[in-house]
Amino acid sequence: MDYQKFLTARGLKTYHAGIRVMVLLPGFVLLAAGLTLPQHSNAHPGGASLRFYGNGVNDIDRVKIPLGNPSRPVNVGGDFTLEFWLKADANNQGQATCGANDGWITGNILIDRDIFGALENGDYGLSLHRSGNTRRIAFGVSNGNGGNTLCGNINVADGAWHHVAVTRNASTGQLRIFVDGVLDAQGSGPTGDISYQVGRATMYPNSDPFLVLGAEKHDAGSQYPSFSGWLDDVRLSNIIRYTGDFTRPAAPLTADANTVALYSLDGGPGNCTSGSLITDSSGASGGPSHGECRFGGSPAGPVWSSDTPFSGTPTPTQTLPPTPTPSRTLTQTPTPDATPSICAPDCRFLFLPLVRR
Ligand SMILES: [Ca+2]
Ligand SMILES: [Ca+2]
């Protein structure tokens, strides 16, 4: 489905013949007669973030970004950097299986560009991995032959905002995680193109051809939990921006020639109702790669929040609840330099019962 068809199907086609689109600039859609799209009401003058509640069911409590057909710039598959700000609450209890192919999918999923199963295409994603009372970043990349999940060591669930960046090198397969500009972990992953092959046959047309923010995309069950917390300033770039420690951003991220998607998430206030446009302001050629909100659940999310990394709102230190007793012992081998495991056709069938992904 191309993007206009997508918009139409989602009831998102907010303008039509007779309303002339005057200017399309990064971050702004200016319509004739002074009309602006509702997400740009700028009721949060200091910007906004999106607050998710981890519902992980019924295609709600998430942002869905179509990868397009033809492919949109957001559909990265070579070298890339994915960065964003997060603030996590205590309701993230999932655990990744560090060092394993697809091991990230059992953490609380932050950003999901999985494809269902382990087919010919590559995929990737990020989640929060609970270790004791800490929550750490898990980042996994796979292709049809296997993959790896890299787990960090820095706690990102202390009630404060954290800048997270992950990089992937298509030639060497190297993966890195940075938290607040500090190299948190690095290790190996599969090489080659892992972009989504748009137009491919799929039994999961409502989840496979999307990049999803804030939730597990397939609603595959409670063993694949979704993120509870805040996201802001999601930027995808088609280069490796960071190879060593750097100073974390002191202002909202902006776009440059290597930015393929930028979601400033400055809408609201109120609920991010289903069909609300999530604007890509990258200006990338072949774009934009806009998305939409899918709202619902209990508590219902996502909602627009005035709490941002730069809002100056004090973020009190949060005490996480005691760690629940695990129902089973996960085999965790956090070996950052491990060789990607090869257990085709699908590693997940080897270590998880009743696996659907
Ligand atoms: Ca924002
Ligand atoms: Ca997969």
What is the residue-wise DSSP string for 249-305? PSS-----TTEEEEE-----SEE--TT-EE------TT----EEEE-BTTTTB-EEE
User: How far, in Å, is the centroid of ligand 2 from the Cα of 118?
Assistant: 5
C-alpha of residue 116 to centroid of ligand 2, in Å: 5
Mean pLDDT of 91-110: 97
- What pLDDT is recorded for position 28? 36
The residues that bridge with 112 in the sheet, in sequence order, are 125, 212
> For residue 241, how far is its CA from the centre of ligand 1 (angstroms)?
21
Reply yes or no on whether the pLDDT at 354 is more than 60: no
Please check the confidence at residue 38 and state whether its pLDDT lies above 80. Answer: no
Ligand nearest to the CA of residue 305, numbered in listed order: 1
The answer as to whether 330 is a domain residue is no
Taking the CA of 42 as reference, the closest ligand is: 1
The average confidence (pLDDT) of the chain is 82
Q: How many domains does the chain have?
A: 1
Using pLDDT thresholds of 50, 70 and 90, give the confidence band for residue 7: very low
User: 202 with 116: CB under 8 angstroms?
Assistant: yes
The alpha carbon of 88 and the centre of ligand 2 are apart by a number of angstroms equal to 25
CA of 119 to the centre of ligand 2 (A): 7
CATH code assigned at 198: 2.60.120.200
Is 234 domain-assigned? Answer: yes
pLDDT band at 321, cuts 50/70/90?
A: low
Tell me whether residue 124 is in a domain: yes
Which ligand has its closest atom nearest to the C-alpha of 252? 1
In a domain, residue 274? The reply is: yes
Q: What is the CA(120)–ligand 2 centre distance, in A?
A: 10
**Ligand lying closest to the C-alpha of residue 124:** 2
Mean pLDDT on 78-91 = 96
Task: Please check whether residue 228 lies inside any domain of the structure.
Answer: yes
Q: Judge whether 147 lies within some domain.
A: yes
Which ligand is in closest contact with the Cα of 47? 1
The answer to whether residue 339 scores a pLDDT higher than 50 is no
The answer to whether residue 194 sits within a structural domain is: yes
The string of pLDDT tens digits covering residues 246-295 is 999 999 999 999 999 999 999 999 999 999 999 999 999 999 999 999 99
Ligand number, closest to the Cα atom of 119: 2
Instruction: Give the Å distance between the CA of 267 and the centre of ligand 1.
Output: 8
Tokens read off for 60: 């709600």
Report the SS3 class of residue 206: coil
Percentage of the chain exceeding pLDDT 70: 73
Please tell me the distance between residue 331's alpha carbon and the centre of ligand 2 in angstroms: 20
| pLDDT band, very low/low/confident/very high, at 341 (cuts 50, 70, 90) | very low
8 has a pLDDT exceeding 80 = no
Structural domain including 169 reads 43-310+347-351
Of residues 149 and 41, more confidence is placed in 149
72-91 mean pLDDT = 96
- pLDDT the model gives residue 311: 84
- The tally of CA atoms less than 13 A away on the side-chain side of residue 57 is 9
In a domain, 317, yes or no: no
Q: How much helix, strand and coil, in percent to the nearest 5, is found in the chain?
A: 5, 30, 60
